[in-house]
Chains A and B, each alone.
Chain A
Amino acid sequence: MRRAVAWGLGGAALVAMPWLVRAVAPGQQRYVLHILVFTGLFAALALSYDLVVGHVGSLSLAHPAFFGIGAYTAALLATRAGFTFLPDTLAAMILAGLVAWLIGVPMFRLHEHAFAIGTLGFAMVTHIVATNWVDLTRGPLCVTGIPRPALGMGPVAIKLTSVPHYYWLALASLGLVALLYHGLTTFRLGRAFHAVRDNEMLAAAAGIDPRRYRMLAFVVGAVVAGGIGALYAHYITVLCPEEMTVALTINLLVIVFIGGVGRLRGVVIGAVLFTVLPEILRIAPTWRLVIYGGLLLAIVVRWPEGLESALRRSGRSRTA
């Protein structure tokens, strides 16, 4: 009961965030909400990544490619073919999923390090294609003028042009991704994922096809990443190849491992920390990144299983 109340209050606070921010820091609303949009998008993207890394235990380094494929699909369909927001996002998700499935067939013949390196190669090739296929992507000139999304059509269209609107869109997307993540990683499906992660041979002896479950997590993760890519492109309105470099993988790994690999709550905490902390540290501009790095290091040393493990432990000692 108290849990339900806490969830309700927390949810209401998140929905009311634009007004709360305006009340607390009137001049800063756009800036604060801008950071929170990034938090939401990074949290959703990191959850989709954690499906693969945390739940089936495949260290894929291809995630920026699916994010980028989704972002470019949406950006190009919107700017060149006049697609509206929902259809181009849907196309972005389908294409990212399809590419993941095609690339997954040979990749899942590889194991462990070989799989990581294979997927890294794919991610790098995708980045190079985005940079050099100038006729399609405009390469380093970037795709510009991507419209802010509109839901609905014609006269009933709701244009999501303001930052608070986009904040709600990001929040709703994160909510959907979190529900999907929860549904996939608990109960029977989650059990099969974790069996494959813990012991592949034993999983096969249990009648589970390891490759099938790995592929499922990989494709679903890519579909979500493609969708988040589309949301991102429509938000920043300019899309450059740099958005899909290996650096994004590093950021996702930081989020997932600082927060708590394989844990919904942990990954969201990781995303909040990753996006909000550097902004708070602007109070000490010179030392900002040094302090940030130091804090990450301290967290890894103190809670090697991620911040979420610290929460779990304190929760247990309170109930005990």
Chain B
Amino acid sequence: MAFFAVHGLVKRFLGVTAIDRVDLTVERGELVALIGPNGSGKTTLFNCVTGFMPADAGRVTFRERDVTGIAPHRIARLGVGRTFQLVSVFSRLTVLDNLLVFLQQHQEDSVLGRLLRTARLRRYEREALDRAHALLAWVKLADHAHAPAGTLSYGQRKLLAFAAALMPNPELILLDEPAAAVNPTMIETMKRHILALNREGKTILLVEHNMDVVMDLAQRVVVLDHGAKIAEGAPEAIRRDPRVIDAYFGR
């Protein structure tokens, strides 16, 4: 059974079928790109498989476990990390706290323990701090650790959101347009980071519009159009696929 699998997923909005019986599998260690024109249902698919939207039909499995219809925070705790298309950080928390908050739910503790700040909790907190500082150094935001995240530039916030998603060391990472609306240097940085993660053995599914990014990163590409899967294969084959060219440029 596949590491991560979507079977016959359907999502309708007031009669409009946004996702139409989509099947999708990602094997452990793979880097798969999900592409398609605007409105083809990529983000909706992400939202359905991570519990943010209920699907109307279909099944989602992660590590042989049925995760269909599970609340988003539970899916996150099972080891699925995700980023959002619109840059998403906790703007009033510091950069450091933005990272710490991503790990704390994965470290078991109780409300009473949190009020009393037990020794075990302080150890957790030290471990989280070490990991957060390492990740901040990796994305070169260490100098901003104590600034509110809202004061960062757009690109920096994107890097922060990316680093935060990695805090709990997720097994599967869903990235929604990591290279959108950032400058060319930042795109290169992002690409390097994503490739490095994949080489470490992380499984990655990414939604991306930037074809250069997709061609450079993905081992396999899945194409959606009007909510249905129209093609799937190696990046070079997809680039020449007439159905894909049709979907993107029209006839």
By a beta-carbon cutoff of 8 Å, the part of chain A in contact with chain B is: 183-184, 187-189, 191-192, 194-195, 197-199, 201-210, 216
A205 and B115 contact, Cβ closer than 8 Å, known pairs A194-B90, A195-B93, A198-B91: no
In the bound assembly, the distance between CA atoms of A188 and B129 in angstroms comes to: 12
Question: In the bound complex, do residue A189 and residue B72 qualify as a contact, i.e. CB atoms below 8 Å apart?
Answer: no
Name the distance in Å between B79's Cβ and chain A's nearest Cβ. 10
Question: In the bound complex, do residue B114 and residue A188 qualify as a contact, i.e. CB atoms below 8 Å apart?
Answer: yes
Question: In the bound complex, do residue B104 and residue A205 qualify as a contact, i.e. CB atoms below 8 Å apart?
Answer: no
Q: Chain A contacts of B77 at CB under 8 A? A: 207
Question: In the bound complex, do residue A194 and residue B93 qualify as a contact, i.e. CB atoms below 8 Å apart?
Answer: yes
Contact of A207 among B76, B100, B111 (CB under 8 A): B76
Q: Chain A contacts of B52 at CB under 8 A? A: 201, 204
In the bound assembly, the distance between CA atoms of A197 and B91 in angstroms comes to: 10
In the bound assembly, the distance between CA atoms of A201 and B88 in angstroms comes to: 9
Question: In the bound complex, do residue A199 and residue B88 qualify as a contact, i.e. CB atoms below 8 Å apart?
Answer: yes
Q: Chain B contacts of A199 at CB under 8 A? A: 88-91
Q: Chain A contacts of B51 at CB under 8 A? A: 204
In the bound assembly, the distance between CA atoms of A199 and B114 in angstroms comes to: 22
Question: In the bound complex, do residue B72 and residue A204 qualify as a contact, i.e. CB atoms below 8 Å apart?
Answer: yes
Question: In the bound complex, do residue B90 and residue A189 qualify as a contact, i.e. CB atoms below 8 Å apart?
Answer: no
A216 and B111 contact, Cβ closer than 8 Å, known pairs A194-B93, A206-B102: yes
Q: Does B117 sit within 8 A of A, measured CB to CB? A: yes
Question: In the bound complex, do residue B105 and residue A202 qualify as a contact, i.e. CB atoms below 8 Å apart?
Answer: no
Name the distance in Å between A8's Cβ and chain B's nearest Cβ. 23
Q: Does B163 sit within 8 A of A, measured CB to CB? A: no
Q: Chain B contacts of A194 at CB under 8 A? A: 90, 92-93, 97
27 contacts between A and B (CB under 8 A): A187-B125, A188-B109, A188-B121, A189-B111, A191-B93, A191-B101, A194-B92, A194-B93, A195-B90, A195-B93, A198-B90, A198-B93, A199-B88, A199-B90, A199-B91, A202-B88, A202-B161, A204-B51, A204-B76, A205-B50, A205-B73, A205-B81, A206-B164, A207-B73, A207-B105, A209-B71, A210-B73
Name the distance in Å between B18's Cβ and chain A's nearest Cβ. 18
**Which of chain A's residues has its CB closest to B90's CB?**
A198
Question: In the bound complex, do residue A192 and residue B73 qualify as a contact, i.e. CB atoms below 8 Å apart?
Answer: no
Top 4 closest pairs, chain A to chain B, by CB: A207-B105, A204-B72, A198-B90, A207-B76
Contact of B105 among A187, A197, A206, A216 (CB under 8 A): A206
Q: How many residues of B contact A (CB 8 A)?
A: 36
Name the distance in Å between A1's Cβ and chain B's nearest Cβ. 23
**Which of chain A's residues has its CB closest to B92's CB?**
A198
In the bound assembly, the distance between CA atoms of A216 and B164 in angstroms comes to: 25
A202 and B84 contact, Cβ closer than 8 Å, known pairs A187-B117, A191-B104, A207-B168: yes
In the bound assembly, the distance between CA atoms of A206 and B93 in angstroms comes to: 14
**Which of chain B's residues has its CB closest to A212's CB?**
B73
Q: Chain A contacts of B164 at CB under 8 A? A: 206
Question: In the bound complex, do residue A208 and residue B101 qualify as a contact, i.e. CB atoms below 8 Å apart?
Answer: yes
Name the distance in Å between B151's Cβ and chain A's nearest Cβ. 14
In the bound assembly, the distance between CA atoms of A209 and B76 in angstroms comes to: 10
Q: Chain A contacts of B73 at CB under 8 A? A: 203-210
